[in-house]
Amino acid sequence: MVGGCGVTAINEKHLTAGLTSAQVAERVSAGQVNVQPDRSGRSVSDIVRANIFTRINAILGVLFIIVMSTGSIINGAFGLLIIANSGIGIIQEIRAKKTLDALAIVGQTRPMVRRDGVAAEIDPGEVVLDDIIELGPGDQIVVDGETLESASLDIDESLLTGEADAVDKAVGDPIMSGSFVVAGSGAYRATKVGRDAYAAQLAEEASKFTLVNSELRNGIDKILKIITYLLIPAGVLTIVNQLFISENGIKASLLGMVAALVPMVPEGLVLMTSIAFAVGVVRLGRRQCLVNELPAIEGLARVNVVCADKTGTLTENGMRLSELVPVQGDRTELEQALSALAAHDPRPNASVQAMAEAYPDAPEWSSSSIAPFTSAKKWSGISFSDSASGEARGNWLLGAPDMLLPPESETASQAGELGSGGLRVLLLASTDVPVDTEAADGLSAPGALTPRALIALEQRVRPDARQTLDYFASQDVSVKVISGDNAISVGAVAGSLGLGTVDDAVDARTLPTDTDELADIVDTHTTFGRVRPDQKRAMVGALQSRGNTVAMTGDGVNDVLALKDADIGVAMGSGSSASRSVAQIVLLDNRFATLPYVVGEGRRVIGNIERVSNLFLTKTVYAVLLAMTIGIAGVLGKIFGFTPMSYPFQPIHVTIAAWFTIGVPAFVLSLAPNNERARTGFVGRVLRLAIPSGIVIAVCTFVAYALVYPGGSGLELGSKDSVDMTPDQMQAATTALITMIAISMWVLAVVARPYNWWKIVLLTVSVLMYVLIFSLPFTQEMFKLDPTDWGKTAIALGTAAVGIVAVEILWRLNPAIAVWTSKLKVRSKESNTADKVSGAGER
């Protein structure tokens, strides 16, 4: 409440004592308690089941059973992927769940409940049926109930009903969970708790640990759909070739079939995405940042406009009374009025707390009527009388000078001069009628208003605010300061931080309602004062209409609508429970400086998953193409009467091929630091690199295999029930494998750019591991490798060199291809638009 006194008018004689301890215990034993949904949406058992019973695990499981039926245990090594995928996913998601649950306890709404005649804050999960819950401005309604006491109690139900206007609640009116108090105070009795409450289902769905509405996840899903269409023909062709055309026998054919199908499955892509998000939650949790919706980590990395509230964001919540400037009346009387206003406010904000600290000795006055503060009118007031004699002590108002005074008045000019120095200025005034007298417009002060004093409050700018704003400026993220305070005061504070000037500050009362006109002004100005809640929402919408991705920060009930509509809502932990409930991210330590870390975490997730996706999809592309190429060669061989070409690899070969070209590097890259700026077009960029690279690897591997494959009757086939490879088969498979691994390693080197020391170490270790695998007799025998024929190995290295050059050329041409593709899309869109216009003209 900005300078307001949302003072309770609840008559103390009518206070309800609430339930007794015995009654509470009785209701708890009867299960009439507000059971809260799991913060992360899934229990540990749900997480375990969800990570084990996946489509990818099912595919790999079936293929593993087929391999085990042949008796070749070593070729079933890929089955370890099932354990690895499930185990890593379970561990990371449980870690993220624990972090979310722990932070949710810190940041959750704590209702004020009366029990045994005493009001105290309790956890929302401890509320029982028939509890009496007190309400004040900004409070979130945690359970359904019936109004028992109302002092101008206005509740916003827009989050439930879509109705923008606050609803006045009289005694007996129903109150729904999920709504929040915008003005006044009161109390209500809980009539529905737990899952019976109106908003329980909404809350349960909204708080799930989920990746929905993530551009990154949607892109991966789109890619997986494309892969699915490719897998069907490739898989069918491989099965036909291995089981019906190949002459290798049933067991060898089954192994070849499995070896062809396993690398087609991008088993780690979804896993790495989940891990990256989960690790992001844990990292941000260490910085006291609660992520209500997981895609917010990604979304904030794409933000290019941040709308920041001044109070509580750029400045600290605490204030100090700098000066009391009397306008009319005795200073002692004015100090008594301020002290009484502060003492009668049950939920004082920073402004009122500053006055209470300055004037702690409150007079023995009682309230006869009140006018609670609202964001629309920017003032509040109380009519007082002497508690002992009943003598009237005046009708006092406290609020914004520019809302209560004519702009040409001398007092308004004096307030402007005080505010131009960055001070927050409030007006103390009196009227000749009770403060709850309704004005004609519902916003103006009642009766004849007399200015009595100006109160100057000193706001402390956060020490880390300038550094945070400089970071956003360096990242081309523009910052708009939107506040309900006086525009001059807001401009002075923002100007001290390098954001615009006092002269550039815009008074929101002059803003147009048209979205295009509003967007023009918001685009060209930085600082805005006297912004109403509906205007904050409109300004966010205007920025979004120009293609901006908008983040909104705030801590008050007046920020809720804008927080809800922004692409990313960021609330302060000390803010109202309503603002925390609608925000995707809550900064529990109230530090605006935490936002750059959230942006950095989002960039790490996006950039690293893009790199990892390149690796996995390259493997899928070359696996599909290689299987189709060899399958077609097998069919042609059958038709034209020469020895059919069977799949070169056994499952163990494709397993080791993925270890150090994809598996280990992908895990490291997915968790590594990454400060690359987030860009749209994730799917296009990944496919532009993965498809050409996959084609090169498939073609070069097939050529190397065809060059060393004897063909005709020169290949001695193994017995029909044997899974052992003949020497010629093993050498041909080794040649093809060396080619495939070498080019895949270069794709990894391309994806890892730009290099630093740890990436160089990663690449070096990966290469050395393959050198050891191919050179040690023990590993040669275990993994069925035979690189001893130097002629064939030379063919492999020569073919790989050609493939490496091709991958490098394609990578260097990639930016030009991207520009060309973009131009084609623009031309296509323009052509479609022209056709539509032409068609409309003809009609």
The answer, yes or no, to whether residue 359 has pLDDT greater than 50, is yes
Q: Are 646 and 634 in contact (CB under 8 A)?
A: yes
CA distance linking residue 358 with residue 345, whole number of Å: 15
pLDDT in tens, 706-733: 999 765 333 333 444 445 677 888 899 9
Report the SS3 class of residue 2.
coil
CA pseudo-torsion sign 115, 116, 121, 124? negative
Using alpha carbons, select from 622, 689, 612 the residue that is nearest to residue 649: 622
pLDDT at 696: 96
The rounded mean pLDDT for the chain is: 81
CA distance linking residue 630 with residue 647, whole number of Å: 6
161-175, 233-247, 470-484, 676-690, range with greatest mean pLDDT = 470-484
CA distance linking residue 625 with residue 633, whole number of Å: 12
pLDDT at 38: 55
Q: What is the mean pLDDT of residues 15-39?
A: 81
CA distance linking residue 843 with residue 840, whole number of Å: 5
Q: Are 603 and 303 in contact (CB under 8 A)?
A: no
520 is catalytic: no
Which residues lie closer than 8 Å to 15 by C-beta, 6 or more apart?
A: 114, 149
- Looking at the DSSP assignment, which residues form a beta bridge with residue 461? 315
Q: Is 332 exposed, middle or buried (0-12, 13-18, 19+ CB in 10 A)?
A: exposed
Among the listed residues 131, 139, 156, 309, the single catalytic one is 309
Q: Are 335 and 643 in contact (CB under 8 A)?
A: no
pLDDT in tens, 756-791: 999 999 999 999 999 999 999 999 989 889 999 999
DSSP letter for each residue of 545-572: HTT--EEEEE-SGGGHHHHHHSSEEEEE
Q: How many residues are listed for the chain in this entry? A: 843
Which token pair is 362?
Answer: 């409150």
DSSP letter for each residue of 237-270: HHHHIIIII--S-HHHHHHHHHHHHGGGS-TTHH
Measured torsion, CA atoms of residues 336, 339, 340, 341, in degrees rounded to the nearest 10: 120
CA distance linking residue 744 with residue 730, whole number of Å: 21
Report the SS3 class of residue 582.
helix
Which residues lie closer than 8 Å to 501 by C-beta, 6 or more apart?
A: 491, 495
pLDDT in tens, 785-831: 999 999 999 999 999 999 999 999 999 888 776 666 666 555 555 55
pLDDT at 203: 47
Measured torsion, CA atoms of residues 220, 224, 226, 232, in degrees rounded to the nearest 10: 170
CA distance linking residue 758 with residue 669, whole number of Å: 10
Which residues lie closer than 8 Å to 812 by C-beta, 6 or more apart?
A: none
pLDDT at 12: 39
Q: How many CB atoms lie within 10 A of CB 256?
A: 24
pLDDT at 816: 75
The answer, yes or no, to whether residue 257 has pLDDT greater than 80, is no
Question: b/e for 746-775, b at 16 or more Cβ within 10 A?
Answer: bbbbbbbeeeeeebeebbeebbeebeebbe
Q: What is the DSSP letter of 478?
A: E
Report the SS3 class of residue 120.
strand
Among 1-15, 667-681, 828-842, name the one with the lowest average pLDDT.
Answer: 1-15
pLDDT in tens, 88-136: 778 877 877 777 676 666 556 788 999 988 888 888 888 999 999 999 8
User: What is the percent of the chain with per-residue pLDDT over 70, rounded to a whole number?
Assistant: 85
Distances (CA, A) of 688 to 233, 613, 771: 22, 12, 30
106-120, 159-173, 418-432, 433-447, range with greatest mean pLDDT = 418-432
Q: Are 138 and 572 in contact (CB under 8 A)?
A: no
CA distance linking residue 451 with residue 435, whole number of Å: 15
DSSP letter for each residue of 130-146: T-EEEE-TTPBP-SEEE
Q: What is the mean pLDDT of residues 494-520?
A: 87
Distances (CA, A) of 792 to 236, 237, 509, 627, 656: 31, 28, 81, 22, 20
659 φ, ψ to 5°? Answer: -55, -55
CA distance linking residue 86 with residue 415, whole number of Å: 65
pLDDT in tens, 298-319: 787 888 899 988 877 788 767 8
- pLDDT band of residue 747 (cuts 50, 70, 90) is very high
Q: Judging by DSSP bridges, how do beta strands 527-529 and 506-507 pair with one another?
A: parallel
Of 295 and 838, the structure prediction assigns the larger pLDDT to 295
pLDDT at 76: 72
pLDDT at 14: 38
Using alpha carbons, select from 347, 343, 346 the residue that is nearest to residue 361: 343
Q: Are 260 and 627 in contact (CB under 8 A)?
A: yes
Q: What is the DSSP letter of 287?
A: T
Of 454 and 2, the structure prediction assigns the larger pLDDT to 454
pLDDT at 41: 55
Q: Are 142 and 177 in contact (CB under 8 A)?
A: yes
CA distance linking residue 485 with residue 463, whole number of Å: 21
The answer, yes or no, to whether residue 403 has pLDDT greater than 50, is yes
DSSP letter for each residue of 75-93: GGGGGHHHHHHHHHHHHHH
- pLDDT band of residue 740 (cuts 50, 70, 90) is very high
Q: How many CB atoms lie within 10 A of CB 360?
A: 10
DSSP letter for each residue of 183-212: EEEEEEEEEE-GGGSTTHHHHHHHTS---T
The answer, yes or no, to whether residue 488 has pLDDT greater than 80, is yes
What domains are there in the chain, each with its CATH number? Answer: 32-206 (2.70.150.10), 215-280+601-672+686-713+722-813 (1.20.1110.10), 289-314+462-590 (3.40.50.1000), 317-460 (3.40.1110.10)
pLDDT at 489: 82
